[in-house]
Copies of this chain bind each other. A is one copy, B any other.
Amino acid sequence: MAEAAPKADLRALNPATNEHFGPSFPEPSAAQIEAACAAAAAAFDIYRETDLETRAAFLEAIAAEIEALGDELIQTAMAETGLPQARITGERGRTCGQLRLFAQVVRRGDWIGARIDPALPERTPLPRADLRQRFIPLGPVVVFGASNFPLAFSTGGGDTASALAAGCPVIVKGHSAHPNTGAMVGSAIDKAIKTAGLPAGVFSILIGQQRTLGAGLVADPRVKAVGFTGSRAGGVAFMRIAAERREPIPVFAEMSSINPVVLMPAALAARAEALGTAFVGSLTMGAGQFCTNPGLIFALEGPDLDRFEAAAVAALTVAPPHVMLTPGIFGAYEQGVNQLLDRDGVKLLARGCVGDGVNQAVGALFSVDAETFQRDEVLSHEVFGSSSLIVRVKDAAQLATVLESLEGQLTATLQMDPADVEAARPLLPILERKAGRVLANGWPTGVEVSHAMVHGGPFPATSDPRSTSVGTRAIERFLRPVCYQDIPDALLPAALKADNPLGVRRAIDGVL
């Protein structure tokens, strides 16, 4: 959330130098917010009935236009975020791959969820009408770009791709941490709209830094859903605005997760050092600025855990510092680490290398016993960045108890060997209840964009566990079912007409 008004016009800031650069972005006016919402509402009925091929080709055209921005986009995003070239290039690939994957989903048409229960005119005591169901999109969607993924979770990122795939016009609230990147991607989407001959209101971006911009968009009666990736405080604020509207609307906020990792005894005995080193690799990647950063480690205390700690300490001590995304994020990270340094019973195990640049995150690793962890709520708050806490448990029963006490998470991970299977079995139901994704023998960072992925989970990981913000199931969050009863074929949507002109899969009396 932006700080209090008034402010100077927004300009990009290079977090590696604390220098502003590029053009000014005047704060969008109330009239501009109004115009974006009006245009989105006006575009909705047209866009939602685009044929599948037109919509799929449009998503592919966005990908091509983003690629056509070339190296200038890469350089701009790097300068605005401090993220390295390989990361931004990879993220562009992910962003465009995501758009193309949703194009495939749109073409396949399963998302329409077509169902037909044919009329039963002879049924007694009452005949049955002809009933047909399809999903239609919710309406205009406001998307809040994330600071930490300037491409993949931002202007043309996951929420935009899934909302457009569903048939919803999108209004992006461009993140103030990367205004030029946002504007460039926005112009690429505008080009794709023109090429496809779609109404301009299918997409718009409003770049600003005032709290009133986001709040105004969420409150607008023409907006029917919100996608958000960011802080817990920000997400909860928008949830509240959405709930207090005259017509409450769904908010899909991806907010806060500390991603517990459990080191099972056999795995820990067999490969403590390798686990310690790999853990620090996951922890410090991208300055730890991932929603899925492993912020909590659980293991039985003892010599194997000591070996893990020693390896992690050795790796972290030589881990280079990374510039963080913004001075604000860096400040919050420092504050979070300092708070942990002050807590009773929390022991600092290691810090990473200190650099000489500005806004550089220095990794931090702490340990604590399970009783203290359960007593002190602060210890299970997310510290966004490369900070993690090892929780030493006494036995399997305490491990289950402390896992049961956790809030909702995006991920939960088991490091386990075959000999750990029976000990892991009773933990799995707990982890399923806590998280949207359960992993074995990997690290939670790195979220595949595919059909079976879930990037979601119970509150506060997200505002709505029934959904995912990554993967093709994300299209479903922006849809609602409508039933057509005895509607003449001439008026039925194509997916439900008698001769199935779209050739989509349909369930007849519940059977596909």
Residues of B within 8 A of A104 (CB): 510
Give the distance to chain B from A464, nearest Cβ to Cβ, in Å: 7
Say whether A454 contacts B428, CB under 8 Å. no
Is A440 among interface residues, defined by CB-CB distance under 8 A? yes
Question: Contacts A105-B510, A472-B510, A485-B440 hold; do A459 and B133 have CB atoms under 8 A apart?
Answer: no
Question: Contacts A438-B483, A487-B440 hold; do A117 and B448 have CB atoms under 8 A apart?
Answer: yes
A248 and B465 alpha carbons, distance in the complex (Å): 10
Give the distance to chain B from A296, nearest Cβ to Cβ, in Å: 18
Is A451 among interface residues, defined by CB-CB distance under 8 A? yes
Say whether B452 contacts A116, CB under 8 Å. yes
Question: Contacts A247-B458, A448-B131 hold; do A473 and B482 have CB atoms under 8 A apart?
Answer: no
Counting chain B CB atoms within 10 Å of each CB, the highest count among A115, A456, A463 belongs to: A115
Give the distance to chain B from A333, nearest Cβ to Cβ, in Å: 25
Residues of B within 8 A of A115 (CB): 451-452, 473
A254 and B90 alpha carbons, distance in the complex (Å): 46
Is A408 among interface residues, defined by CB-CB distance under 8 A? yes
Which of A64-72, A378-386, A390-398, A417-425 touches B?
Answer: A417-425
Is A363 among interface residues, defined by CB-CB distance under 8 A? no
Residues of B within 8 A of A22 (CB): none
Residues of B within 8 A of A90 (CB): 125
Question: Contacts A131-B448, A240-B243 hold; do A482 and B437 have CB atoms under 8 A apart?
Answer: yes
Give the distance to chain B from A160, nearest Cβ to Cβ, in Å: 19
Is A136 among interface residues, defined by CB-CB distance under 8 A? yes
Say whether A485 contacts B407, CB under 8 Å. no
Is A211 among interface residues, defined by CB-CB distance under 8 A? no
Choose among B446, B453, B458, B483 the residue that contacts A126 (Cβ–Cβ < 8 A): B446
Say whether A131 contacts B453, CB under 8 Å. yes
Say whether B468 contacts A481, CB under 8 Å. yes
A456 and B482 alpha carbons, distance in the complex (Å): 8
A45 and B433 alpha carbons, distance in the complex (Å): 9
Give the distance to chain B from A10, nearest Cβ to Cβ, in Å: 32
Question: Contacts A433-B139, A435-B482 hold; do A459 and B421 have CB atoms under 8 A apart?
Answer: no
A478 and B178 alpha carbons, distance in the complex (Å): 38
Choose among B421, B451, B465 the residue that contacts A491 (Cβ–Cβ < 8 A): B421
Residues in chain A within 8 A of chain B (CB atoms): 44-45, 49, 90, 104-105, 108, 110, 115-117, 125-126, 128-129, 131-133, 136, 138-139, 239-240, 243, 247-248, 250, 407-408, 416, 418, 421, 424-425, 428-429, 432-433, 435-442, 446, 448, 450-454, 456, 458-460, 463-468, 471-473, 477, 479-488, 490-491, 505, 507, 509-512
- Nearest first, the 10 closest Cβ-Cβ pairs linking A and B are A454-B483, A131-B452, A133-B452, A451-B510, A439-B485, A437-B483, A115-B452, A117-B452, A465-B480, A117-B450
26 A-B residue pairs with CB within 8 Å: A115-B473, A116-B452, A131-B452, A132-B452, A138-B466, A240-B243, A247-B407, A247-B458, A248-B463, A250-B464, A250-B466, A421-B488, A432-B482, A436-B483, A437-B484, A437-B485, A438-B484, A439-B486, A440-B486, A441-B486, A451-B507, A454-B483, A466-B479, A466-B481, A467-B480, A467-B481
